[in-house]
Amino acid sequence: ELITNVAHDLRTPLTSIIGYLELLSGPVKLNEEMQKKYLDITYKKSKRLQKLIEDLFGFTKLNYGKISMKVSKEDIVKLLSQMLEEFYPNFMEKNLAYELQSNVTAKVITADGNLLARLFDNLIGNAIKYGAEGKRILVKVMADTDEVQVSVTNYGYVIPAEELPLIFDKFYRVEQSRSTHTGGTGLGLAIVKHIVAVHHADIEVTSEEDKGTEITVTFHKENE
């Protein structure tokens, strides 16, 4: 099932990469502008292929317990601030505003830093893909003595109520007809679900016309 569902997604960018490289190395001499255009496309397709492969390996490792956690103390507010800065080119490309709100200036939890970064990389990336029409992404941290809640909200496409329970299933894509446009293997949120589980945290999603689509991860006191 894994191979069947992923094979098509891997083949599509690879076919494009081979096609453009054949044009670049073919007998017909291209002008400098066309060469740059084709190289840019090839580079973007290669990065997409890399992301698909990373998702595939990440999912299989998490799903079959082949990953060992390296737990440390992580400042979640600092981590999210850094990640949003790294996403700046993506926000600009989609003409999206973004904001980080927090009721604390710093909040240290016990977690695997790499997995935590992977978790929020997927959530923020997902918000950018489906929130383009909404023009805004909001990341919010609410911390108290018992738990830390981190929510990522986009104000674009609203997920139908009957689809909400399915979005963390592997290979599931919100609005299948948009999958070619938005890309992805359908593994991103399945990876998120596994990372949340290994941290003994909780995750929930809401999606309403006026309030946007909000995915909230709750870390409990034992994570502090």
Write out pLDDT tens, residues 15-24: 889 999 999 9
Question: Sorting pLDDT into bands at 50, 70 and 90, what band is 182?
Answer: very low
Mean of the per-residue pLDDT values of the chain: 84
Over 80: is that where the pLDDT of 223 sits? no
Which of 56-70, 106-120, 132-146, 186-200 has the lowest average pLDDT?
56-70
Q: What pLDDT score does 55 carry?
A: 75
Q: Cα separation of 157 and 34, whole Å?
A: 35
Q: What pLDDT score does 2 carry?
A: 63
Sign of torsion, CA 39 41 44 45?
Answer: negative
Give the mean model confidence (pLDDT) for residues 15-34: 90
Which of 31-40, 49-58, 149-158 has the lowest average pLDDT?
49-58
The model's pTM: 0.75
Q: What pLDDT score does 163 carry?
A: 86
Over 50: is that where the pLDDT of 51 sits? yes
- Concatenating the DSSP letter of every residue in the chain gives -HHHHHHHHHHHHHHHHHHHHHHHHSSSPPPHHHHHHHHHHHHHHHHHHHHHHHHHHHHHHHHTT-----EEEEEHHHHHHHHHHHTHHHHHHTT-EEEEEESSS--EEEEEHHHHHHHHHHHHHHHHHH-GGGTEEEEEEEE-SSEEEEEEEE-SPPPPGGGGGGTTSTT--SSGGGHHHH---S-HHHHHHHHHHHTT-EEEEEEETTTEEEEEEEEEGGG-
Q: What pLDDT score does 173 carry?
A: 60
Beta bridge partners of 109: 74
Which of 57-61, 77-81, 182-186 has the lowest average pLDDT?
182-186
| Residue listed under structure tokens 């992404």 | 137
Q: What pLDDT score does 178 carry?
A: 42
Task: Provide the token pair at 192.
Answer: 């998120």
Instruction: Report the b/e string of 211-222 with b at 16+ CB within 10 A.
Output: ebbbbbbbbeee
Question: Sorting pLDDT into bands at 50, 70 and 90, what band is 111?
Answer: very high
Q: Treating both helix axes as pointing N-terminal to C-terminal, what angle do 32-63 and 188-198 enclose, rounded to 10 degrees?
A: 40
Residue with more model confidence, 152 or 188: 152
